[in-house]
Structure 1
Amino acid sequence: MANSSTKLIILFFTTIITFSISPTSNAPDLDLRLRTDPDAIRSASSDYGNLVKRSPHAVLYPSSENDVVELVRLSNECPTPFGIAARGHGHSVRGQAAAHGGVVVDMASLGRNGSRIRVSWDEALGYYADVGGEQLWIDVLRAGLEHGLAPVSWTDYLYLTVGGTLSNAGISGQSSFYGPQISNVLQLDVITGNGYLVSCSEGMNSELFLAVLGGLGQFGIITRARIVLHKAPTRAKWVRLIYDDFSMFTSDQEHLAMNGNGPNYLEGSIITDKSPPNNWRSTSFYSPSHQTKIQFLLKANGGILYSLELVKYYTATNTNIHKEVELMIKDLRFVPGFSFKKDVPLLDFLNRVGSLEGDDKEEEAHPWLNLFLPKSQIMDFHAAVILNLIHTQNQTSGPILFYPLNRQKWDDRTSAVVPEDEDIFYTLGLLHSTKRSESHVFENLNKQILEVCQRKGIRIKQYLPHYEYKEDWVQHYGSKWTTFQERKAKYDPRMILSPGQRIFTPVMESDF
């Protein structure tokens, strides 16, 4: 009698040949691992962005890593391989985790029999957590805090999977000091595009390790990651400072970012009439009276202000935290009287966004744009983009982030792409939220921003990139393109993995 993996292959092969819903695809002995029913297809056809719809032929709900290995091997055995995309929590915004006409792997199924997070200590490595690639960062945080430990680098939103953020980079306000999440990983288990489950690290299969980190899922599916842990603080001193001058705002950010005794978290944002000070990233930081005060200043400053947000972590034994923070901000050039502070538990700060699941409604869209740009060009960018485009648009948007990152905290050997030749670069995050019927307004704004940057020679790199043509990908990777191609040929020679990124696959538009 065939085992379950063999049955899975036979069943899937049948569905691929017939391109019809198999009546046995929900058979109990397969534990619903491969599904072609409308509900499964619908759930894997769109994402948080809600901008495109790309339907797979089937969805795999694996019970083990071996199910994924067998699926990848099956695709390799087909005369024409089918695309395979690992889907974590579905928080891509332009179909990056889609597999149009192929198979989407529902990674959450790997953890359905219990948490796959194990905290350990090693004399050489220190504390670490072995974490399933499908696990959410909020669960990694909670598991670590049970031992008084935590990772040091986060994303602002914790309901993302470990495998998903490591496939991009994983950035937030901690990244200036501790690097992105891909700089805080010791080891990975990866299913490559040629169907092998491989453990890798800097000292073992290092080329695969570096390729997968920031690799947009092109070289392997992350099924386990070993994350660095440190002793966790217990509280966060949380400060926001308001600026009316962009140059002072950015120079103060850079001063803090390069200060070894500075904060543990640093992000800047832009406040406009259409992007108010309180938003979904931390809905109640400002009291109503504070909001009124800021609104008066906003009007007086032509409808634009800049917010510098910093946090200093501490434990209850640190009785000098208030003095440390005051000393840290003493020489900063924010508007006098516009310093706002809170003191919260560490978990409350890191989980300040909460879960956005209720926000991801069918008729809502999130046409986000995330850019990296070199420090030397931020004044040009401010004039051409922030003032002339973002500030003048008339529709309410989401948060607008603008803060520096330290290039020395990034490993250039990984697949992640950042601006070259400058130690400081900035990230712009336009986190738009709108009705799907009105998403074209922000899509047009994003297009204008990219066109202006190209016309003025502002050397941007997209973070969470989306391009339509191969030439754009070649330009995006620049000096890394040859290495990127060579790694693809080595680890996914038939170009099976992550077709939704559209780096090596033809563009096939499928709109709602």
Structure 2
Amino acid sequence: MAHDGVVVNMLSLKKHYKNGNGIRVSTSGNYADVGGEQLWIDVLNATLEHGLAPVSWTDYLYLTVGGTLSNAGISGQTFLYGPQIGNVLELDVITGKGDFMTCSKDKNSELFYAVLGGLGLFGIITRARIVLAKAPKRVKWVRMIYSDFSIFTRDQEHLISTKGLEYLEGSLMMDYTPANNWRSSFFSPSNESRITYLLKKHGILYCLDMVKYYDDETVNSVDKEVQMLQEGLNFIPGFTFTRDETYVDFLNRVRRGEITLKSKGLWDVPHPWLNLFVPKSHILDFNAGVFVDIIHRQKKTTGPLLVYPTTKIVWDDKMSAVVPDEDIFYCVGLLHSGSFNDWQDLDNQNNEILEYCDRAGIKMKQYLPHYKSKEEWIKHFGPKWNTFQERKAKFDPRMILSPGQNIFNYV
């Protein structure tokens, strides 16, 4: 997992708590002090006891706080609230030098900005102070279907520019896979047959998911607000579907799919995923070259395919995380599920996609990046590379935290 390096089992820190569970909620300050080893699902449950919750999430909640903050932490709320790294007030960090430091935007700020999105290269997050807000009780979850990618993206960009929406994600359906998948079984059997007919006609369909939160105070107005959000959208008439769920069930929706797959023995398989940030200026090229020409033509991919926009303004450029240099860019998740016999084919397809982007001049950035050479890492970090190097020399000069990613230690 980390060649010549160290893998830290963060969950082992839990045994050191004599009192409590490593999560302390401040209702007066609207924040939670959370151990870096805590799972986000546990943070959610602890904060809900006080009627509060974090505002920014990942789609899957059984991840550690320190782990997602070392990358970014993205989901359908990112366009509104920013990534999880943008909703942190303070950190405790053990640096590569062995120093235990508390840091924030105002205290030891260089370490604060380095660690957030820093891929674990500067220190280990042992505590994070997470922003909280009043928790909703339920959600209206609406899915609309499109056959034209340009209209689909135009409607997504329109929605993230309007007020009143808390979540937006987009996904793809292919004619060689079921309309429902393990990650989101949204459609009834009768609707699934209608969608299958559309898939045979178009080959690819695009789903726009939008979510409106509500509680007891807004229960009587939420349907009207959803209707207003849908005004002017150009989805296929008659192909809009709505679900009403508790806030917790919605946030924890991927877990249900995981449990189903585990019961069938289909979870512990290779997942050669590829996650990218694609600039808006090239998202139509990406659709034509990747979704249509590579993925649909080859018909290898099984698993969710996500594509949804966010805005650069909600990302703090002082942090280590890297995003495209455009006001709007798309989060693309190619969440392949393979087998021990064909994972290499999917990995080769990922490389083909990266090569296509390079040839086509699509200046995308990998999220959860993996590169094999120093030159590739320098290209990835771009203008941030020199700062990244300087911070490394300051907080981990012996490069104890480096091996495995081959950013500073090369094999």
Q: What band does the TM-score fall into relative to the shorter chain? A: over 0.9
Match of 2:254 among 342, 345, 353: 353
Give 1:105 shift: 2.0
Give 1:290 shift: 1.2
Letter in 2 for 1:489: A
Label 1:276 to 1:502 Cα distance change in 2 as closer, same or farther (>3 A): farther
Give 1:394 shift: 2.2
Is the contact made by 1:298 and 1:304 (CA closer than 8 Å) also made in structure 2?
Answer: yes
Given the alignment of the two structures, is residue 338 of structure 1 paired with residue 338 of structure 2, yes or no? no
Is the contact made by 1:235 and 1:316 (CA closer than 8 Å) also made in structure 2?
Answer: no
Q: Can you give the 5+ residue segments of structure 1 that lack an aligned partner in the other structure? A: 1-97, 508-512
Which residue of 1 is the match for residue 292 of structure 2? 387
Which residue of 1 is the match for residue 23 of structure 2? 117
Give 1:363 shift: 6.0
Match of 1:307 among 182, 207, 211: 207
Give 1:106 shift: 1.2
Which residue of 1 is the match for residue 347 of structure 2? 443
Output the CA distance in 2 between the equivalents of 1:274 and 1:133: 41
Give 1:479 shift: 0.4
Output the CA distance in 1 between the equivalents of 2:402 and 2:191: 46
Output the CA distance in 2 between the equivalents of 1:341 and 1:247: 23
Output the CA distance in 1 between the equivalents of 2:380 and 2:176: 31
- TM-score with structure 2 setting the length: 0.95
Output the CA distance in 2 between the equivalents of 1:276 and 1:494: 51
Is the contact made by 1:157 and 1:354 (CA closer than 8 Å) also made in structure 2?
Answer: yes
Is the contact made by 2:5 and 2:402 (CA closer than 8 Å) also made in structure 1?
Answer: no
Match of 1:140 among 43, 62, 86: 43
**What RMSD in Å do the two structures reach over aligned CA positions?**
1.5
Give 1:397 shift: 1.1
Output the CA distance in 2 between the equivalents of 1:153 and 1:276: 30
Give 1:361 shift: 6.8
- Secondary structure of the 2:8 match is strand
**Superposed CA offset, 1:109-159 (max 9, x none):** 11135621110144xxx3100000010000100001110000000000000
Output the CA distance in 1 between the equivalents of 2:268 and 2:38: 28
Q: Can you give the 5+ residue segments of structure 2 that lack an aligned partner in the other structure? A: none
Match of 1:328 among 229, 232, 247: 229
Q: Percent identity?
A: 63
Given the alignment of the two structures, is residue 377 of structure 1 paired with residue 277 of structure 2, yes or no? no
- Secondary structure of the 1:182 match is helix
Output the CA distance in 2 between the equivalents of 1:103 and 1:382: 39
- Secondary structure of the 1:211 match is helix
**Superposed CA offset, 1:398-444 (max 9, x none):** 10000001110000000000001x21001110000111221011111
Which residue of 2 is the match for residue 128 of structure 1? 31
Which residue of 1 is the match for residue 409 of structure 2? 505
Label 1:102 to 1:327 Cα distance change in 2 as closer, same or farther (>3 A): closer
Letter in 2 for 1:304: I
Given the alignment of the two structures, is residue 271 of structure 1 paired with residue 177 of structure 2, yes or no? no
Give 1:395 shift: 2.6
Which residue of 2 is the match for residue 90 of structure 1? none
Given the alignment of the two structures, is residue 199 of structure 1 paired with residue 102 of structure 2, yes or no? yes
Show structure 1 runs of 4+ deviating over 4 A: 357-363
Match of 1:230 among 119, 125, 133: 133
**Superposed CA offset, 1:326-354 (max 9, x none):** 11102100000000001111001000111
**Superposed CA offset, 1:223-255 (max 9, x none):** 000000000010000000000100110000000
Letter in 2 for 1:448: E
Output the CA distance in 1 between the equivalents of 2:13 and 2:209: 37
Is the contact made by 1:151 and 1:227 (CA closer than 8 Å) also made in structure 2?
Answer: yes
Which residue of 2 is the match for residue 486 of structure 1? 390
